[in-house]
Amino acid sequence: MEEGKPAPDFELKSDNGETVKLSELRGKQVVIYFYPKDDTPGCTTQACGIRDVYGEFQREGAVVLGISPDDERSHVKFKEKYDLPFTLLADVDHTVSDDYGVWGEKSFAGKKYMGVSRSTFVIAEDGTVKRVMHQVKPDTHADDVLETLRS
Looking at the DSSP assignment, which residues form a beta bridge with residue 112? 107
With contact defined as beta carbons under 8 Å apart, do 141 and 52 qualify?
A: no
- The one catalytic residue in 12, 22, 43, 67 is 43
Give, in degrees to the nearest 5, the angle at Cα 100 between 64 and 138: 50
48 is known as an active-site residue: no
Helical spans, DSSP H, in 53-88: 54-59, 72-82
Nearest Cα to Cα of residue 84 among 125, 43, 116, 29 = 43
Q: What are the catalytic residues?
A: 43
